[in-house]
Structure 1
Amino acid sequence: MKSIKSSLIIIASAGLLFLGACSNNNQAANTSPNTQPSASPILKGEGQHGKSHGGRTVETGAYHLEFVPVKETNGTHLDFYLQRGDNHEAIPNAKVTAQIQLPDGTQKTVPLFYDAKDKHYAGLLKEKMNGQYQVKVNADIQGKKADGRFNFNR
């Protein structure tokens, strides 16, 4: 009887740890005064609004933002989907950069370039240290600004 209770406690504890690890994908977004309209950002989960690419999305002002980090052997591939909020049409002519705080506190800026084939912005973060990365993606869309804050673990 004691072994059954011990097994249940171990299984329950492992389940709680797993849930805690899975829920560690916090995001936020903000807009600059130049973004129209100045609405509060709305955090959306996968599949709640438009097609998801595996990341969490943020609706901010007139824009739909989605950040997807993909761990690779040579670093972390960064995918960023910048779309119009009303119809989710890709915006190809923006200047996009990712400002990243590494787990050791070091700051790194990674330019993201538009991939016309896949209709998103992409870049490579070569650092491979384990821990949490804080990311602020800045997009300048013909003078209008859209900024999204994300984080991920490696």
Structure 2
Amino acid sequence: MAQAQAMTQAAHAVLGKEQNFELLPVQIRGVCESQYCAAALMLAGYSLEICLKSMVIAREGVEGFTKIEKEMHHHRLHDLASFIPGLSRRDTAVLRGLTHFVSWAGRYPDPGSGKEQQVEDVFTLGEKQRVTARDVVDVAARVMQYTSEVVEASLG
């Protein structure tokens, strides 16, 4: 859980620093800014993935987690968060969107051969749900706040 917090702070640091792409050709400055934001969303998504998986470890114990570990070898935040009560369809859409950044959009220029539709899916999902940066922060905060309930239940 400490690693999740460190990753969250890294995402905040990236988003809080204004970048200067003046030295780059004008034609690619916008793309660089977009990719910079995508990298920040990737860090935010990674922090949620770490947090969610650590909650499963806290709930199941190390032995219990070891038994289901292979089922957890993915980045689908919406699936990993399925045990958190009160997540709305919109919250799930936010997590689906962040999954794209964790899986490829924060790391690579495209999702890979045969997965070209995923590029369009990122934009369609965001536009359909009218997802804002505030929505991403709110969902991430609620997911991370649930940690205290999981930890309390595992200790009690």
TM-score by length of structure 2 reads 0.29
Structure (1 or 2) with the greater strand fraction: 1
Higher relative contact order by CA 8 Å / sep ≥ 6: 1 or 2? 2
Structure (1 or 2) with the greater helix fraction: 2
Q: Which has the larger radius of gyration?
A: 1
TM-score by length of structure 1 reads 0.29
